[in-house]
Structure 1
């Protein structure tokens, strides 16, 4: 487990979208000006996963204390062999490079505590843990089999659910790990003295999504995910005083008879949640969330504010 101090910016799934990554850096600043925590899933799905990962590795080498990388479920061999990274790296650099990547992925940590109040991971909370020592003593899974065991599998794969699952249940949709409800999350946070859980792993139409009275937030940073023309990407900022804000990469769609209802619904959502920007930004908008339209985070002492200026 990483122990990180704030302020910092948290980035969710990138999935090989180099252009989105560069636009985020352009919007909020590059390392070491800004401290970043990435929640995993750098590879697969997108066309430039090799370039994304190499850029992040270079920043990690150059500024090791200002850029932190967690492991997502796609940084496991069984996933990135099937969903595009193996084919991309083999085509561009050969199969030896792909095998070396697996060695690097095996060394990535699985979770990070920000200050004393925020816990970050790619997937979700684990079912079996005892205390903070369970996380500090966590072994990095270095084989495909160990990626599917214990705390490791839940930190990379688990999902929150609004269904009638109040505690933990099998994750039937993914056929691995667990889903967890609000009671399980509340008990987990109370036991560890946490105010907020930050995770990635699931696409969100607005780029981020709060659940369970704002105790947990999903941050998804890859817009146009898998060819989806409607989803935004977002990154999250944590200030020195634990103030939370977001920068959103918004798709800009052309109105057609086929998508009129979808576009109008999106615009209504944005008018409620976001300060609209007139700048098309090469087909996409980079804009901050309007905090006045979002309630203060309940019972946590965290609040939403404007993102930091570049």
Structure 2
């Protein structure tokens, strides 16, 4: 687990969208001006996974204390072999380089704590975690088998659910890991003294989505995901005083007779959101709001 101090800007799924990554840097600043925490899923789906990951790796080497990279489920071999990265690497660099990338992905951490009150990961929480000691004892999974079991699989794959589920349940939609309800999240946060969970992993129409009384937020940074969605992308800012704000990117698409209805829907979705930026290509900033103080710790059973 990484320990990161704030201020920090948190980035969700990028999925090979180099243009979106550059737009975020243009909007809020480039390293080392801004400290960034990336929540994983740099590769697959988009056309420039190699360029995105290579740029982030270069920044990590040049500014190791400014750029922080977590591992998402697509930084596992079984995923990026199937969803675009392997095919892209075979065209651009070959299988040997693709395998070297897997070695790098195996070394990425799975979660990060921002200050003392915010916990970040790609997927979600786990019933395999009962204390901070569980995180301190966590080892990086380096085989397909260890990626799919225990605490690592939940940190990369788990989802919150609004269904009638207060605890943990099998994640039937993904056929891996778990879903968790509000009570499970509340108990988890009380045990660890947390105020907010930040995760990625799921598309959000506005680029971000709060759940369970703002105890957890999903940040998804790839606008116009897979070329067939009208979602915005967003990144999240944590100020020195734990104020939370967002920069949102609208999806870019050139209108044609064939896609006119899609472009119109994208524009309607964007105009429905508040606080539009005068420069829509650079994103917009939502006014900050302070996160609540952490809940009192749960009593320790003797």
| Superposition TM-score, scaled by structure 2 size | 0.91
The C-alpha deviation readout for 1:74-101, integer Å capped at 9, x for no partner, is: 0000000000000101110111000000
Q: Is the 8 A contact 1:41 1:75 kept in 2?
A: yes
Q: Is the 8 A contact 2:249 2:280 kept in 1?
A: no
Q: Is the 8 A contact 1:50 1:85 kept in 2?
A: yes
Match of 1:183 in 2: 183
- Structure 2 distance, partners of 1:119, 1:73, is 18
Q: Is the 8 A contact 1:229 1:251 kept in 2?
A: no
**What SS does the corresponding residue of 1:213 show, helix, strand or coil?**
coil
- Structure 2 distance, partners of 1:261, 1:79, is 33
Match of 1:34 in 2: 34
The C-alpha deviation readout for 1:215-258, integer Å capped at 9, x for no partner, is: 00000000010113410000000001101000000126659884
Go from structure 1 to structure 2 and tell me whether the alpha carbon gap of 1:232 and 1:260 turns closer, same or farther (over 3 Å shift). closer
Match of 1:225 in 2: 225
Match of 1:304 in 2: none
Match of 1:60 in 2: 60
Go from structure 1 to structure 2 and tell me whether the alpha carbon gap of 1:225 and 1:264 turns closer, same or farther (over 3 Å shift). closer
Single out whichever of 12-21 and 255-264 deviates more from structure 2. Answer: 255-264
- Structure 1 distance, partners of 2:216, 2:165, is 16
In the TM superposition, structure 1's runs of 4+ consecutive aligned residues that sit over 3 Å from their partners are 252-265
Which consecutive residues of structure 2, in runs of 5 or more, have no partner in the other structure? 295-302
Match of 1:169 in 2: 169
**What SS does the corresponding residue of 2:169 show, helix, strand or coil?**
strand
- Structure 1 distance, partners of 2:146, 2:284, is 40
- Structure 1 distance, partners of 2:47, 2:263, is 29
**What SS does the corresponding residue of 2:272 show, helix, strand or coil?**
helix
Q: Is the 8 A contact 2:244 2:290 kept in 1?
A: no
**What SS does the corresponding residue of 2:19 show, helix, strand or coil?**
helix
Q: Is the 8 A contact 1:252 1:280 kept in 2?
A: no
Match of 1:216 in 2: 216
Q: How many residues align?
A: 291
Superposed CA RMSD? 1.9
Match of 1:266 among 265, 269, 285: 269
Matching of residues 47-86 of structure 1 within 5 Å: 47-86=47-86
Match of 1:143 in 2: 143
- Structure 2 distance, partners of 1:96, 1:259, is 40
Q: Is the 8 A contact 1:11 1:235 kept in 2?
A: yes
2:130 pairs with 1:127:
no
TM-aligned CA deviation for residue 278 of structure 1: 3.9
Match of 2:300 in 1: none
Matching of residues 99-110 of structure 1 within 5 Å: 99-110=99-110
- Structure 2 distance, partners of 1:150, 1:161, is 20
**What SS does the corresponding residue of 1:123 show, helix, strand or coil?**
coil
2:1 pairs with 1:5:
no
Which consecutive residues of structure 1, in runs of 5 or more, have no partner in the other structure? 302-310
